[in-house]
Chains A and B, each alone.
Chain A
Amino acid sequence: MQFGERIITLMAALVLVLQIAVVAQRWIVTHIRIFAIQSFLLAMIAATIAWFNHAPHIYIAAALTLVVKVILVPIFLERLVVRMDIREEIKPIINVPLSVVIAGGLTLLGYVVAESFYKQNEPGLGHNELAVAISLFLIGFFTMINRRKALTQVLALLSLENGLFLAAISLTYGMPLIVELGILFDVLVAAMVLGILVYRIRETFESMDVSRLRRLRG
């Protein structure tokens, strides 16, 4: 179990590093791939927990996460990017070095919040993973405000869900299976719906820049 915990902590740390890398980089395709890798790591964390705790229903959640978030959604989004032929993010609202430092600050905030949650002798992982989950959540929020391309906002929304998945796993070893099913289904449909919307925005506005969506006011 020690070994398992170590591996899980390692993977959670990798997820966090990847999330900070997302804040720093500009290419939408890279963003999609980093999301896929993060989801893969999360699925592996779930599978590791299932292995060490002999809880087979978590395997199903891990497998579903793998199928939906690692394969289906990234493929769909990448195809969308190719069709729309926009690869690069425009300048974010807060410049990159400052955003990265803010992301670091949000991670610390995540740790502080996770500390208040953690109780000994409960099922669930240590507060490291919960902190990473809350940081994912907060950094996803921040990315959503900071970036102006519609597709990046969609990816930020999806990484919010990732953070919640990790939080669920670390607090209670995941939610009941049917809830996980429902959530994953919703994520898939949401990705598709938002993807279609982004495509239409691009067609109508000739750009994915959401700061152009300003006609309705008052």
Chain B
Amino acid sequence: MLLLALLLIPVATAAASFLVRRRKEMEAANLAGFGLVFLIAIALAAQVLARGTVSLANSFFYADALSALVILLTALVALVCATYSIGYLQDDQQSGELGDDPSGKEQLAQLRMYYTLTPLFVFSMMFMAVANNLGVMWAAIEATTLVSVFLVTFYGKVTSLEAAWKYAIIGGVGLSMALFGTLVAYYAGHRLAGSDALAELNWSVLAQHAQLLDKTSMRLAFVLILMGYGTKAGLAPMHTWKPDAYSEAPVPSAAILSSAMLNCALYGLIRFYILTSRSLGPEYPGRLLLLFGLLSMGISVPFILVQKNYRRLLAYHTIDHAGIMVTALGLGGALGTLGLMLHMTFHTIAKSLLFLCAGNVRQYFKTDLFSEIKGSVIRVMPLTGIVFLMAMLAIIGMPPFSLFQSEFLIVRAAFDGGHLLTGVLFILFGTGVFAGALLHVGGMILGTRGNTPVAPHRPWRDGSLLTLAAALVIIGFWVPAPLLELIRGAARVVNGK
């Protein structure tokens, strides 16, 4: 029941936003819809904690702790971004970014597109998280790409088109490889469920009988899936679409892309990892994951150090964190998987917060480049400045923030498991990212130079910023017990029952 509601409400929200006439009604529909989705996600998490797994329609829909965590995080981000986008899009409309049609119809059409596509985007992500069938899961991920392409081209500039094209093509090619991998996985297991053809691609069935899967095929399948879903997650060397897409999309969409959709791509990867590690043992997938993860972390370092555009900096940061999470998955074991789940949670909050702050800065200063801002954001927009700096410190792993704990856990997992080189490289790359990000962002935020006037109050945006910032700080010190239980449950799913 809950699962159905989880899926139907975003669709209804999209339909409502499409049909209503005025901006305020669209905003209200979105807020209401996402608020409901968030509540349902919490309820679902509670149910999963109580019962272990929730399934519907003969196991077509299936939710365990991992799905519930991803759904909860997605719902949270969606709600916060919906709140933020109200103020953000109002500002855009006033400043003429959406078009200068005097009657306002063109702007309204743009807004309608945004408010319709975002719930559809969230719908496809939810669908992916509850789909049991691997092929349906693939179709849902492909749907997320197709929907978000138009979000990337929202501003209609020359650069947005370029970004959207790269996103669409690289994503499309990557997902074709993932489809191939799904196909090979199907081949590996297609004798298992007897005559029920549909169930043969069901993850729950395959996971149970993972020992019987054909080993050579699973090897090939995992490589293909890693490259395919890894493209979607932004792992190097398939990451080139990320900086462009994140810097051209409207800020709330970029926030959702960088946190929720990253989680979904990783979710797909994790599901296959579970199958592969149960069938072949964790060394083979682990090694591949470590390779790609460390590569992603390594590639992001130089790009962050010489970055000139703060939204692209955040994008490279996301690549770095995708690498961290994939490394954690590759390390495996109790510590590694717990670190992964914790990191996923914390990163979602911190990264979306960062994007929202960046949006504030951009809308006020009207530029994306560090060199043009020159500093003193903290004087001009005190709240944004403080939160931005804090979130940045958090995400690069400064104690006492939460990400420090998860990264520490991952490093411990590395040294405990004997992956000394991994641990050393992890610390090295982390330091590089730390230095680069702090240098650029700190320079941008601190200081008292410049004579830009103090920015006015922005209720919607500041409100959402504050909420997330509060969540980030609190979570650093105290994770609510149910959430922690959910995280542990998710880690257990990955580790193996």
Contacts and interface: CB of A to CB of B under 8 A. Distances in A.
Interface of A: 57, 116-117, 137, 141, 144, 150, 153, 157, 160-161, 164, 167-168, 171-172, 175-179, 182-183, 185-186, 189-190, 193-194, 197, 200-201, 204-205, 210, 213-216, 218
A194 B164 CA distance: 10
13 contacts: A137-B180, A157-B172, A157-B173, A164-B180, A179-B201, A185-B139, A194-B169, A197-B149, A197-B164, A200-B153, A213-B162, A216-B244, A218-B306
Contacts of B412: none
Contacts of A150: 165
A204 B164 CA distance: 13
Interface size class of chain B, counting residues whose CB lies under 8 Å from the partner chain: 35 or more
Contacts of B211: none
Q: Of A57, A157, A214, which is in contact with the most chain B CB atoms at under 10 Å from its CB?
A: A157
B27 interface: no
Given A204-B158, A216-B159, A194 B201 contact: no
Given A141-B173, A179-B135, A182-B135, A197 B168 contact: yes
Give me the 6 closest cross-chain CB pairs, A-B, nearest first: A179-B135, A182-B139, A213-B162, A160-B176, A176-B198, A216-B244
Contact of B133 (A137, A157, A168, A179): A179
B179 interface: yes
Contacts of A186: 139, 142-143, 146
A54 to B, nearest CB: 14
Contacts of B163: 216
Q: Of A116, A178, A210, which is in contact with the most chain B CB atoms at under 10 Å from its CB?
A: A178
A175 B183 CA distance: 8
A190 B136 contact: no
Interface in B98-152: 133, 135-136, 138-139, 142-143, 146, 149-150
Given A160-B176, A179-B135, A200 B161 contact: yes
B198 A167 contact: no
Contacts of A164: 176, 179-180, 183
Given A175-B201, A213-B162, A167 B183 contact: yes
B153 A167 contact: no
Contact of A176 (B143, B168, B184, B197): B197
B461 interface: no
Contact of A197 (B161, B179, B183): B161
Nearest to B163: A216
B23 interface: no
Contact of B201 (A144, A160, A176, A189): A176
B379 interface: no
A200 B165 CA distance: 10
Contacts of B247: 216
What DSSP secondary structure best describes chain B's contact surface?
helix
Contacts of A177: 197-198
Interface in B301-329: 303, 306-309, 312
B180 A215 contact: no
B414 to A, nearest CB: 31
A178 B136 contact: yes
Given A157-B172, A164-B183, A168-B183, A176 B139 contact: no
B200 interface: yes
A109 B23 CA distance: 56
Interface string B188-200: 0010000001101
Contact of A215 (B153, B162, B184, B303): B162
B183 A201 contact: no
A190 B142 contact: yes
Given A178-B136, A197-B165, 13 more contacts: A144-B169, A157-B169, A157-B172, A175-B183, A176-B135, A178-B198, A190-B142, A205-B161, A213-B161, A213-B165, A218-B243, A218-B308, A218-B309
Contacts of B306: 218
Contact of A175 (B143, B186, B303): B186
Contacts of A189: 143, 146
A172 B190 contact: yes
B170 to A, nearest CB: 10
B59 to A, nearest CB: 13
Contacts of B149: 193, 197
B25 to A, nearest CB: 27
Contacts of B133: 176, 178-179
Contact of B159 (A171, A176, A215): A215
B374 interface: no
Contact of A213 (B136, B142, B166, B308): B166
Nearest to B241: A216
A144 B168 CA distance: 13
Contacts of B172: 157, 190, 194
